[in-house]
Structure 1
Amino acid sequence: MARIWVESYGCSASFADAEMISGLIVNGGHTLASSAKDSDLNLIVTCSVKDATANKMVNRIKKLKTKPLVVAGCLAKAEPRTVERFSSNASLLGPNSIGKTLQIIDSTLLGRKQVELSDTDVTKIGLPKVRLNPIVGIVEIASGCMSECTFCQTKIAKGDLKSFRIGDIVRQVSSEVDDGCKEVWLTSTDNGCYGLDIGTTLPELVNKVSEIPKEFMIRVGMMNPMYMPRIKDQLLASFESEKVFKFLHVPVQSGSDNVLADMKRGHTAATFRDVVKKFRSTFPEFTISTDIIVGFPTESEEDFAKTLHLLEETTPDVVNLSRYSQRPGTPAAGMDQIDVSEVKRRSKVVFELINKIALDNNKKWLGWEGSVLFDEQTADQIRGRNFAYKSVFVDENVQIGQRKNVKITKATAHGLYGSLTS
């Protein structure tokens, strides 16, 4: 029996993998260490979506390699040579190989490096898990994607779409709720294309999960705009359920159709604009989250202006802003790059705009009163979410998993603040 330290980075699917890896470790007779200092072996579930993230992974690998080390996740699969350059003895575990967790840990503890990067264990439903958050169940509904984005390593790391069956997902969600989860995240690389390979759709899945006769909330995870026209009307109907947070994460990336074509995104700015309009007209209090990349190699000043215009027009509540960075193995990495100082300038302009939009949007919630589910421990307090998945904070003492009535008295660009009314 060994003490294993597990840490994870990246998207919700990556955290779901970490939970399942931890579950396999415990079921295999090992224990989870409380820190890397107390461990016999360190395991890091990595992300490689951006340069800054990859650099952080490298720094963590350098620090963790003083013990036997397993590097799992996207960086291990997409850039194994990068991992080996900084830790030649580390074992490697791919995102779709986590069924080999115990084998690779046992080998690594014995001083034998093992590499398991092939897609041998794609289905991740029903695996044991140790949750990072006791009241949030992260349920992966698919692995891989159908996109060919020129800037992204995800396809390299996770491969083609493999959707999991609705019945298996429903059973998994039911099990999560039975274990005390008040909130369930339906997550994957791209929820929008869920089911295309097995003859079903995301709305069908959301409907079936909503029908589970238990009390919990559903957060529908990220979906790319290119798949939205096909499922939009049915998804609008699915969101009528009181169990579904009125929240969508639809990454547009750019407001320029020329840049989107060069990115091979498969959608136009109008696709995103239409999604926002339809959901907000059906649900006036609805949270839109999106992603923006500034400084893509072919982004002209005119293209950049179109992105600013799209943000001003659609006023998304949350914008995940990234400066474009070259990722090894991607087509865009071979293009002529925009000067770093110009990318920083554009990033600053967008940053200031999205903070203004977020503040304006949040001010609309002043005076609102309603139910809030407190679902996350942040660095210094507990965060809650209302029906539109807005971040809510209160000064009173609350516990994770509690649902309380709150009246909003203050708004910032980063959240809503209020007081308990019951």
Structure 2
Amino acid sequence: MVDAHQTFVIVGAGLAGAKAAEALREQGFTGRVILVGDERDRPYERPPLSKGYLLGKDERDAVFVHPLAWYAEHHIELHLGQPVVHLDRTAKTVTLGDGAVIGYDKLLLATGAEPRRLDVPGTDLAGVHHLRRLAHAERLRGVLSSLGRDNGHIVIAGGGWIGLEVAAAARSYGAEVTVVEPEPTPLHSALGPELGEVFADLHREHGVRFHFGARLTEITGQDGMVLAVRTDDGEEHPCHDVLAAIGAAPRTALAEAAGLTMAARADGGGIAVDASLRTSDPDIYAAGDCAAAEHPLIGARLRVEHWANALNAGQAAARAMLGESVSYDRVPYFFTDQYDLGMEFSGHAAPGTYDQVVCRGDVGKRQFIAFWLRAGEEGHQVLAAMNVNVWDVTGPLQELIRTGRPVDPERLSDPGVPLESLLG
């Protein structure tokens, strides 16, 4: 039973944590809600950090989840700039960095992820950047603007989503860009070589240089400033700044120290939770980038780092904390905007889980839908779909994935066949 005398603590004041607090109040919880974050800024959304805000199109205030007054109005106790340094599951308390101890009846861990660091000489030089927090984006926005004015050059280590979005932003400012990526195409593990090449061509058309099949081995500098990067194939790229965009790691130290069960590295690591987002401790839940959940629809444990997961999983965890029967089975979804290309991706198709990729539309004109298919006894099943500059199709695409209905690849690839007709 949940009553007004209970205290729910949320560790992590990002999107997942803020939406969980919001959902608790919307569901009628009248007890204490305490939201703890180690950043000094109130909860904000991260997509603008590599998109609109970084491009200078969005104002700073546009990134925040709620106005500052909203938290007091809804009796959400905010503890900002305060890391949680200890979790005592027996006493059911968390200890903050300033020594304050807070008791809880239910606890939500929404600690997020942190950027992976380059393990090479020279990372202590001025001009080496990461992009995860609002302060990072503020600094990087100024750097890209200066590089554009001065015909400066940034090297981006990593050709994933963040690396490519920053590359697009850098080119919009006029900066010179080189992307160093160990795979043969950008987004190689996410999309495969054929569709990765679509993004490579897009960026080349906008002046981005790629150096594939190589890794950074050293960042060289003078007087504390970046001068160049070297790669393991002997190349050197003169530059003024470097961005490490080599992925993110779930922030699990607090949960691990408390003895909570962790997911296997093969599942992306993270805090292991069931379909209701409950951890191995029945009074502790986890959501967002830090959580690896058993996904009822996909039939596997997934750790999803994207915006939609933080948005929706935080709310689902709140309902579960209140005693509602929850099975978090939303189709994974994310989006990107790069130059004149807009894309939405739904589903999950890890390498080795699909048999073929088919497209409908014009790939060359970058106006198409791609489908990742797995062959079965009754036909082909859609595991994931990506719509590129084709809009208002997320609903039927996600329904194809959710139902698992067998499809004919030829009909699927035919733009003359309405997507809705494939649903039966």
Question: TM-score, length-normalised on structure 1?
Answer: 0.29
Higher helix share goes to which structure? 1
Of structures 1 and 2, the one with the larger relative CO (CA 8 A, separation 6+) is 2
Larger Rg: 2
